[in-house]
Amino acid sequence: MSDKENETKEEEKVDAATDSSTGSETQEGADTAAAADSQAQDQASEEKELSPEEKIAALEKEIADLKTQALYKAAENDNWRKRMMQQKDEAVAYANASLLGDLLDSLDNFDRTLDAAKDAKDAKSIADGIKMINKSLVKMLEDKYGLVSYGKEGDEFNPEEHEAIGRQEDEKAKKETLAQVYLKGYKLKDKVIRHAKVMVKVPKA
């Protein structure tokens, strides 16, 4: 057999294989499309077969499920709200725990001073002990909590910081100043938490 005849037979085999493969793919595609159509028809048939009573029952079930979900969500929200309120109450109740803990050292020092005062023969030593406690307490409140006292004689009167208990005229006064401080004022950082109670010196009219 010649080479040309061999080549012709080989080409015929390749063409036959290609035709067979193409036909197979086409058949598979047709089968898949037919299956999808059949499934869609079955589903449509099932939907058509539902009676009015069955549809009502299905809708009622869906409504019941939605109500259950709504109640569950409402209960979750209520529990969350209660937890938040409890945490807030605890935060308020124990907000001063740190401050009170820091004050215990000063209370202990006062107790020691009182015990020492029973046998003290010199009032000055007692006064010195109280001054030390006061200095330590004030420093702690200033450094750790930002509590600052204000108000001393000669300061300019400021109605936003001072509460005037009385006023007295002074011929030498050029502006309103503090003539006397009855009770010091206090600021927590920049906010006034207690106004200073003062006597105000005013220029004579």
pLDDT in tens, 120-134: 788 888 888 899 999
Tokens of 181: 């401080």
d(CA 111, CA 136): 15
Task: Give percent above pLDDT 70 in the chain.
Answer: 77
Q: Tell me the per-residue pLDDT of 141-200, one tens digit each, with 9 for 90 and over.
A: 999 999 999 999 999 999 999 999 999 998 888 899 999 999 999 999 889 999 999 999
| Average pLDDT of span 34-63 | 74
Mean per-residue pLDDT of the chain: 83
Q: Tell me the per-residue pLDDT of 67-117, one tens digit each, with 9 for 90 and over.
A: 999 999 999 999 999 999 999 988 888 888 888 899 999 999 999 988 888
The contacts of residue 145 (CB under 8 Å, 6+ apart) are 99, 188
d(CA 192, CA 147): 10
Q: How many CA atoms lie within 13 A of 28 on its CB side?
A: 6
Q: How confident is the model at residue 14 (pLDDT cuts 50, 70, 90)?
A: very low
